[in-house]
Amino acid sequence: MAALKLSLVVSLEETGFDAVAMRGSWREALRTAADLGYDGVELAVRDPSEVDAEAVLRTVRDAGLAVPAIGTGQAFLKDGLSLSHPDEGIRARAVERFETHIRLATRCGAAVIIGLLRGRISGDRAATDARLAGSLRRIVPLAEREKVSVLFEPVNRYETDLLVTVGEVLDLINRLGSPALGILADTFHMNIEEPSLEGSLRRAGPRLRHVHVADSNRHAPGWGHLD
C-alpha cells in the first residue's frame, strides 16, 4: 500500500471554487503548503494544454512535494464540458480534455478526479447513465495503459443529481470493471448523503484510493459538527 500523503488543494488559475485551500499565486501556495508541513498538493487544472507542465513540476519538486491527484472540475464550471452531456460534441471534448489530464497525471505520478465533470441528469436518467458510461469506456483504455487511477467522487445532491453516494458510484465502477477506476470519498459530501460514513468507506473497499477530509461546513476538521 502506498504511503498516505497529507495534501492541500491548489488551483493553477484563479477560481471561484470554495474548496481550494489558498488563493493567489500557485507558486506561493506550493511553498506555503510545504512550509506548513504538507506532503503534497492536489492540483486543480482546468485545461492541461494551457499549463507549463515543466514549470509546475519543477516548482513541486523544489518544494519537496508530491502530486497525489489532479482535479478536473473547472472544465465543467468554466468551460461547460460534461462526460454525460446530451450533445455528442460536448461529450467528445470532455473526453479529449480528460485525456490531457491523464497525460499530465502520468508526468506527475498522480490520479485524476471525476467530480463535477460527470455532469447532471438531462432528460432520462437511464440515458444519462448510458452516456456517462460510454464516455468512461473511452477514457479507461488510456488510463490503464498509463497506469493512472481515475477517481470518481460521489458529490452531494445540492451540487449534482447524478451519482451522489458511494454505493451508486461503486455500482457504476463494478459494471465497467476497469482496474483503473477508483473512488474518492469526501467527508463533506458523505455527511450529507451517507447513512454511515464508516459503513460506506468499508463498502468501497479496495476501490477507495483517495479521501477529501472536510468538516460539515467544508472548513477544516474540527470546525464543524462531524465527530
Q: Which ranges of the chain does DSSP label H, i.e. alpha helix? A: 26-35, 53-62, 73-77, 88-108, 125-146, 166-176, 187-193, 197-204
Task: State the chain's mean pLDDT as an integer.
Answer: 95
Q: How would residue 56 be classed by pLDDT, with cut points 50, 70 and 90?
A: very high
CA distance 65 to 77: 27
Residue 223's Cβ-side half-sphere holds a number of Cα atoms within 13 Å equal to 9
pLDDT tens-digit profile of 35-52? 999 999 999 999 999 999
Is the pLDDT assigned to residue 1 strictly greater than 70? no
At 97 the pLDDT is 99
CA distance 216 to 191: 7
Specify the pTM: 0.95
pLDDT tens-digit profile of 77-89? 999 999 999 999 9
At 59 the pLDDT is 96
Q: Looking at the structure, give the CATH architecture of the domain made up of residues 7-212.
A: Alpha-Beta Barrel (3.20)
At 18 the pLDDT is 66
Range 189-208 average pLDDT: 97
The total of other beta-carbon atoms located within 10 Å of residue 124's CB is: 10
| Number of DSSP helices (H) and strands (E) in the chain, helices first | 8, 7
pLDDT tens-digit profile of 131-187? 999 999 999 999 999 999 999 999 999 999 999 999 999 999 999 999 999 999 999
At 21 the pLDDT is 72
Q: Judge contact between 11 and 44, C-beta under 8 A.
A: yes
Percent of the chain with pLDDT over 90: 88
Is the pLDDT assigned to residue 19 strictly greater than 70? no
Kindly report each contact of residues 53-61 with a partner whose C-beta sits within 8 Å and lies 24 or more positions away, as own/partner: 53/104, 53/107, 56/12, 56/26, 57/107, 57/108, 59/27, 59/30, 60/30, 60/108
The total of other beta-carbon atoms located within 10 Å of residue 84's CB is: 25
